[in-house]
């Protein structure tokens, strides 16, 4: 009985796959993880100026 169930499940899977392919077309090839994000080297951040010690120096 389990063989019949497995055969029926396999048949349903094939039917769903056919319907999916008819509706959406063939899926593109899988993208490698290293190709998902492009990285760019940048200069280090500039240091921010120190805050003034006294409020009147703020300008």
Q: Output the pLDDT for position 19.
A: 92
Residues 6+ apart with CB under 8 A from 52: 58
pLDDT the model gives residue 28: 83
Q: Where are the alpha helices (DSSP H) in 25-53?
A: 33-36
For 4, half-sphere exposure in the C-beta direction (CA atoms, 13 angstrom radius) is 1
- Please tell me what DSSP assigns to residue 43: P
Taking only the tens of pLDDT, the chain with its 59 residues reads: 566 777 788 889 999 989 989 998 988 888 888 888 777 788 877 777 777 666 665 55
């Amino acid at each position: 009985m389990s063989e019949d169930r497995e055969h029926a499940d396999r048949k349903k899977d094939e039917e769903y796959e056919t319907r999916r392919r008819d509706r959406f077309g063939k899926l593109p090839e899988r993208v490698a993880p290293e190709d998902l994000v492009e990285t760019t080297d940048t200069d280090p951040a500039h240091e921010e100026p120190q805050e003034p010690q006294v409020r009147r120096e703020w300008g």
